[in-house]
Amino acid sequence: MSLTSRVKAGFLGFLLMASPALAADPIKVGFSLGLTGANAPNGGQLLLALEIWRDDLNAKGGLLGRPVEIVYYDDQTNPSNETTIYSKLINVDKVDLLLGPYGTNQISAALPTLAQRNMTTIGMLGTAANAGIHYKNYFSMIPLGPDPKREFSRGFFAVAVEQTPKPTTVAIVGNDAEFGKNSTDGARENAKAAGLKIVYDERYPPMTADLTPVARAVKATNPDIVFVAAYPPDTVSFVHAAHEVGLQPKMMGGTMIGLLATPLKLKMGPEMNGYVNNAEVFVPIPTFNFPGVKDVLAKYREQAKGRGIDPFGYNFAPYGYAAGQVLAQAVEATKSLDHGKLADYMHAHEFDTVVGKLNFGKDGEWATPRMVVTQWQGLKEHSLDELNDPKKWVVVWPKEHRTGDLLYPFSQAK
């Protein structure tokens, strides 16, 4: 299958205006993103964030006195494309540095190729993608901490067991791919630790278009709470299906990636009321007002106009930009493009980014987790204003970030 390269240098004008010392060969940063397929609603956000990072960096003089160019390919949300893409980036495009990919399935597929060549990368928003091979030069840009499988649902179950009456049964359902497996494995462990009886535990095949049979099967088990691990299109399908079959447990949600993408949230509208999401990594609340993040989001919103992508960029744009920041800080600190030196530095130092200060620990995961749990409340229409209203997009956990209380049971929110 042929892959179309989409390269946006963004540095020609910079070179024309640069001093002779900066008019040098560019430093090439290569990566893949899902710009079509299931990851497209979020891949486009990450791409724009990295373009903004590149432009900001070049405006300050580039890296090591050289302009930065990004070289990227659309992986079509197909993990089987990652080996070809990263081999081409390394062997044909001769990139100096790497980022990505985006997403658990894609990162897991790319890591063996990178490990064979001892290349360093920062994967974006993948869940426990390095848990299988423990590659020393991999770093994760998602705040899941050293136990990512458990952390990805820890808040969901922490909120559930705080409720009165306490739920006793749970249904667990997810996409049967690496992301869904990792998410549901962690949910299963957290459910057992919370003393909940698992009455349904199934994964559906990837690319399942209609999840009505799944929602109906879950309803038949009459669970107190329902945990769902779903990619963007699956999220929309499940929310519609649950509404159609009248699935209303006491609490419902999970790691539902579609609840992060504004175009998909517009489709679901009031049907999202009551859903609890443990996949949030950035919410525009006072405790997340990290230095520089407002500026990045302002640039993102302006440049997103007319591109057909999420107009806000929450959850994705800050982390794409931060991945670039970590890479740039490591290069400048080591004065090197050597991947081994970069990895050693990243393991040993703290980084100051638009998503806060961070350190890397085991398997390249964040040393300290920082997830939040949200619930959609009081949506009445399919509007952008409502989706950006903090009174409707409520952080319910943990207490240091909480902006409101959980509506429980689920029927109360509906």
Structural domains in the chain (count): 2
pLDDT tens for residues 23-47?
589 999 999 999 999 999 999 999 9
Q: Are residues 58 and 173 in the same domain?
A: no
Q: Are residues 133 and 154 in the same domain?
A: no
pLDDT tens for residues 351-368?
999 999 999 999 999 999
pLDDT tens for residues 273-332?
999 999 999 999 999 999 999 999 999 999 999 999 999 999 999 999 999 999 999 999
Q: Are residues 215 and 309 in the same domain?
A: no
Q: Are residues 356 and 402 in the same domain?
A: no
Long-range contacts of 3-8 (CB under 8 A, 24+ apart): 3/73, 3/74, 3/76, 3/81, 3/84, 3/85, 3/88, 4/73, 4/74, 5/71, 5/72, 5/73, 6/35, 6/72, 6/73, 6/74, 7/69, 7/70, 7/71, 7/72, 8/51, 8/70, 8/72
Tokens of 237: 């399908």
Counted residue by residue, the chain has a size of 414
* φ and ψ at residue 250, rounded to 5 degrees: -75, -30
pLDDT at 14 (0 to 100): 42
Q: Is 322 exposed, middle or buried (0-12, 13-18, 19+ CB in 10 A)?
A: buried
For the chain, helix (H) and strand (E) counts, in that order, are 14, 15
Instruction: Quote the CA–CA distance of 138 and 113 in Å, as a whole number.
Output: 12
Residue 39 lies in a domain: yes
Tokens of 365: 């995961």
pLDDT at 23 (0 to 100): 57
Tokens of 233: 């299109």
Q: Which of 123, 127, 119, 112 is nearest to 93 (CA)?
A: 119
Residue with tokens 């929310």: 239
Q: Are residues 170 and 296 in the same domain?
A: no
Q: Which domain range does residue 107 map to?
A: 5-143+288-364
Residue 370 lies in a domain: no
pLDDT at 320 (0 to 100): 98
Q: Are residues 317 and 406 in the same domain?
A: no
Q: Are residues 249 and 330 in the same domain?
A: no
